[in-house]
């Protein structure tokens, strides 16, 4: 099947090479990697495959650029981010189409990500000029204390495929604002949005070497030596807990500063005093955003037994009516999953739950044909042993489980090694505070099905990782504190 001209034009506009020291290069080994359209399974384009020598060159470029970039006026660092935000906003339709082609979700959802991802550039353009230190008189009045905030130094960023732009801008924007240089490795399945972003940042005036982009078939071979390289000063990773744990081990060799944005298993709690219609709308957003392939996706719905039937039926009606198809088609709300493995895992989890007695109120099967589609699914009567209650589903499947009281709801919510986000629907103010305080998560959506916001500190606890992206906290990941003890002659 040939690619339509409008789509080909968008793909043609993206650089296909590695960005090292301000120059676009082929991979040193002369190899390429294929980027696939998950709605057809066909190759969209071939791009450069970086070798470890390319990785070394990229880190050299970042290291060479570090001092001058850290010394660059904060206002100008902010202006570069602001210009890039403007260009992304102006070209949002084209960038959304590009994202849909490589990742699958609907163009409307991609456009929402383009807006969200760009917002980190605007937010941190404003934070760049607010990195302040501290001056103090010691308690004994002797001398003075000066606290400086300095860029951490060259950073390594590794990002996943599920939000091809935003997972990059959440790291790149605060690093630029703080005066850090960087080497970025996007996921091999969705590198095009990141390459487009690099091109935009270059045109916005980012000096050579500040941002270096490597795409590769073998991420371990490429990034392992860089994580062990003493010129690198920080690793920020977004991806699975399994890979995060492995990278932590590698980073421990040189005690590299690390931020980890890892997997989730978000509970969605609906109490009997909740506005059920609002809870259903929130549930659709929390579950179906990004085809369920979000670390913040509601993984399991715990609903007070008195309202569980009403909630389940209303949710099934909403989810069952969603149009499945190629993300570029009009009216499509549910695109394909990223690949056949991911779809196979979702199907395996549903089969396990059904085998233990769950009922598919709607959906429950793979969709035939090209591409990696799965039916939007709601499962009732899910047994406590079902794997999808403890494992990250990463697909359009909503299991519903009843609870009898607040203690049981909290017990369910916290019964996981993950701790990224939880959603709570209640109109009882006292309960809202009690439950928010006792949830073991980094974020809570109270009567809302989405928490992402560039102005907020995004991040998890427990095995969902540590570190925060966005908000005033986001810049902290990219500055070191230096204390100068002063004697005044
Ligand atoms: P993944 O398999 O962990 O991959 C993430 C990134 O790590 C990709 O760029 C991947 O490269 C790279 N990678 C894999 N193995 C590596 C290694 N040995 N050394 C260096 N890099 C390596 O995760 P994913 O499947 O892309 O993303 C889904 C996961 O990310 C889910 O668990 C989701 O919850 C999590 N996530 C978390 C957040 C958050 O903010 N907490 C946000 C989004 C996603 P390749 O492209 O070569 O595989």
Residue in 222, 228, 239 to alter for ligand 1 test, most ligand atoms within 8 A of Cβ:
239
Query: Alpha helices, DSSP H only, in 210-267?
Result: 219-228, 241-252
pLDDT at 75 over 70: yes
Report whether 298 contacts 267 (CB < 8 A): yes
Percent pLDDT > 90 in the chain is 99
Q: What is the pLDDT of residues 433-453, one digit of tens each?
A: 999 999 999 999 999 999 999
- Over range 273-291, report the average pLDDT: 98
- Report the C-alpha gap between 468 and 260 in whole angstroms: 9
Going by C-beta distance under 8 Å and a sequence separation of 6 or more, which residues neighbour residue 252? none
Topology adopted by domain 266-453: Aldehyde Dehydrogenase; Chain A, domain 2 (3.40.309)
Q: What is the pLDDT of residues 108-151, one digit of tens each?
A: 999 999 999 999 999 999 999 999 999 999 999 999 999 999 99
- Over range 456-466, report the average pLDDT: 98
Backbone angles phi, psi at 360, to 5 degrees: -80, 100
- Report the C-alpha gap between 85 and 107 in whole angstroms: 19
DSSP character string of 81-108: HHHHHHHHHHTHHHHHHHHHHHH-S-HH
pLDDT at 454 over 70: yes
HSE value, Cβ hemisphere, 13 Å, CA-based, for 300: 29
Atom of ligand 1 nearest to the CA of 218: 47
- Over range 34-61, report the average pLDDT: 98
Answer yes or no: pTM beyond 0.85. yes
- Report the C-alpha gap between 336 and 321 in whole angstroms: 16
Q: With a 6 A CB cut-off, is 261 part of the ligand 1 pocket? A: yes
Percent pLDDT > 70 in the chain is 100
- Report the C-alpha gap between 472 and 456 in whole angstroms: 8
- Over range 90-101, report the average pLDDT: 98
pLDDT at 3: 86
* Ligand 1: centre distance to CA 262 (Å): 8
Residue in 47, 240, 416 to alter for ligand 1 test, most ligand atoms within 8 A of Cβ:
240
Q: With a 6 A CB cut-off, is 238 part of the ligand 1 pocket? A: yes
pLDDT at 411 over 80: yes
- Over range 325-354, report the average pLDDT: 98
pLDDT band of 1, cuts 50, 70, 90: low
Domain ranges of the chain: 5-262+465-484, 266-453
- Report the C-alpha gap between 388 and 287 in whole angstroms: 14
Q: How far is CA 422 from CA 44, 264, 459, in A?
A: 37, 10, 12
Average pLDDT over the chain reads 98
pLDDT at 369: 78
pLDDT at 212 over 90: yes
Q: 5-262+465-484, which class in CATH?
A: alpha beta
Among 447, 445, 449, smallest CA distance to 275 is for 447
CA dihedral 318, 321, 322, 328 (to 10 degrees): -150
Report whether 246 contacts 239 (CB < 8 A): no
pLDDT at 360: 98
Question: Cβ-count burial of 21 within 10 angstroms (0-12 exposed, 13-18 middle, 19+ buried)?
Answer: middle
Name the maximum alpha-carbon separation found in the chain.
80
- Over range 44-51, report the average pLDDT: 98
Among 296, 291, 279, smallest CA distance to 400 is for 279
Going by C-beta distance under 8 Å and a sequence separation of 6 or more, which residues neighbour residue 31? 49, 217
DSSP character string of 8-39: HHHHHTS--SEEETTEEE--TT--EEEEEETT
Going by C-beta distance under 8 Å and a sequence separation of 6 or more, which residues neighbour residue 287? 268, 297, 298, 319, 396, 398
Q: With a 6 A CB cut-off, is 392 part of the ligand 1 pocket? A: yes
């Amino acid at each position: 099947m040939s690619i339509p001209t409008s789509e080909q034009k968008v793909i043609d506009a993206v650089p296909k090479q590695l960005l090292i020291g301000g120059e676009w290069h082929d991979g040193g080994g002369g190899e390429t990697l294929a980027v696939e359209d998950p709605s057809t399974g066909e190759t969209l384009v071939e791009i450069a495959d970086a070798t470890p020598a390319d990785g070394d060159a990229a880190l050299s470029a970042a290291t060479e650029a570090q001092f001058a970039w850290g010394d660059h006026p904060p206002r100008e660092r902010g202006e570069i981010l602001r210009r890039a935000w403007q260009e992304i906003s102006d070209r949002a339709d084209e960038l959304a189409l590009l994202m849909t082609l490589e990742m699958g979700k609907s163009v409307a959802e991609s456009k929402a990500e383009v807006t969200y991802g760009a917002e980190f550039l605007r937010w941190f353009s404003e934070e760049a000029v607010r990195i302040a230190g501290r001056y103090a008189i010691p308690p004994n009045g002797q001398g003075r204390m000066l606290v400086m905030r300095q860029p951490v130094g060259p950073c390594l960023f590794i990002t996943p495929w599920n939000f091809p732009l935003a997972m990059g801008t959440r790291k790149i924007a605060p690093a630029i604002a703080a005066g850090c240089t960087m080497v970025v490795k996007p996921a091999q399945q969705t590198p095009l949005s990141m390459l487009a972003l690099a091109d935009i940042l270059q045109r916005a005036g980012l000096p050579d070497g500040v941002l270096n982009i490597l795409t590769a078939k073998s991420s371990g071979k490429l990034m392992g030596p860089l994580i062990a390289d003493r010129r690198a000063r920080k690793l920020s990773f977004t991806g699975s807990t399994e890979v995060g744990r492995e990278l932590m081990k590698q980073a421990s060799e040189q005690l590299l500063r690390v931020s980890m944005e890892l997997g989730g298993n978000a509970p969605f709690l609906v109490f009997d005093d909740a506005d059920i219609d609002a809870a259903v709308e929130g549930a659709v957003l929390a579950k179906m955003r990004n085809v369920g392939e979000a670390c913040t996706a509601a993984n399991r719905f715990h609903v007070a037994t008195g309202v569980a039937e009403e909630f389940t039926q209303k949710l099934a009606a909403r989810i069952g009516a969603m149009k499945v198809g190629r993300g570029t088609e009009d009216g499509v709300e549910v695109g394909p999953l990223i690949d056949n493995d991911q779809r196979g895992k979702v199907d395996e989890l549903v089969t396990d739950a059904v085998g233990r007695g769950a009922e598919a109120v709607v959906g429950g099967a793979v969709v035939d044909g090209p591409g990696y589609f799965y039916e939007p699914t709601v499962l009732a009567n899910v047994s406590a042993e079902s794997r999808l209650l403890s494992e990250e589903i990463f697909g359009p499947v909503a299991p519903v489980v009843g609870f009898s009281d607040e203690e049981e709801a909290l017990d369910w919510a916290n019964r996981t090694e993950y701790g990224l986000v939880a959603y709570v629907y209640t109109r009882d103010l006292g309960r809202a505070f009690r439950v928010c305080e006792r949830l073991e998560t980094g974020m809570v959506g109270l009567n809302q099905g989405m928490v992402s916001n560039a102005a907020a500190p995004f991040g998890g606890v427990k095995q969902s990782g540590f570190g925060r992206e966005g908000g005033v906290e986001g810049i902290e990941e990219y500055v070191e504190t230096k204390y100068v003890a002063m004697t005044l002659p």
